[in-house]
Amino acid sequence: MRIGHGYDVHRFGPGEAVVLCGVRIPHTHGVLAHSDGDVALHALCDALLGAIAAGDIGHHFPDTDARYRGADSRTLLRACFAMVGAAGFALANADITIVAERPRIASHVGAMRAHIAADLDSPLAAISVKATTSEGLGFCGRGEGIAAHAVVLLCRADEADA
Ligand code: MG
């Protein structure tokens, strides 16, 4: 088995929505980002890449590359998952925690999990998305940005069906 961890932060900026786990959520701000700024999927990508010791998304999809301008992070997620498969591993489960005072996440969790389950070819029961505030403390608490943590467990693909 392999464990991977990912962490990402994006700063709020002008805009009227944020994208989290592929779900567009109306908000008083957007996030500053080269891609769609989906912190949750960026953390998940880094967890997948970390589990196979394949670097990070900044390495594979550099923000200096115009091809990734405004990129749909679900496309990046599927590309990372393809690397996991090529390395001989399958997903056992993934767990994501989004840290933000606003916007509220709870009503969107079902759609978020469904997107990830589809992109990672996994059952919903293997995909967890949850959110917390930081009780007004730190940059998330001050409403300056959003952070996300992700952990994944991979198993050898040839043992996944056993
Ligand atoms: Mg990012």
What is the rounded distance in angstroms from the CA atom of residue 86 to the CA atom of residue 31? 32
Q: Report the C-alpha gap between 60 and 39 in whole angstroms.
A: 16
Mean pLDDT, rounded, for 34-49: 96
12 CA to middle of ligand 1, Å?
12
Q: pLDDT digits over 61-118, tens only? A: 988 888 888 889 999 999 999 999 999 999 999 999 999 999 999 999 999 999 999 9
Q: What percent of the chain has pLDDT over 90?
A: 88
Contact (CB, 8 A) for 44 and 77: yes
Task: Give me the torsion for CA of 124, 150, 144, 111, rounded to 10°.
Answer: -10
Residue 69: predicted pLDDT: 84
Kindly provide the b/e burial profile for residues 42-77, where b requires at least 16 CB atoms within 10 angstroms of the residue's own CB. Answer: bbbbbbbbbbbebebbeebbeeeeeebeebebbebb
Q: What's the CA-to-centroid distance between 107 and ligand 1, angstroms?
A: 23
Structural tokens at position 26 = 């109306």
Q: Measure 142 CA to ligand 1 centroid, in angstroms.
A: 19
CA of residue 148 to ligand 1 center, whole Å: 9
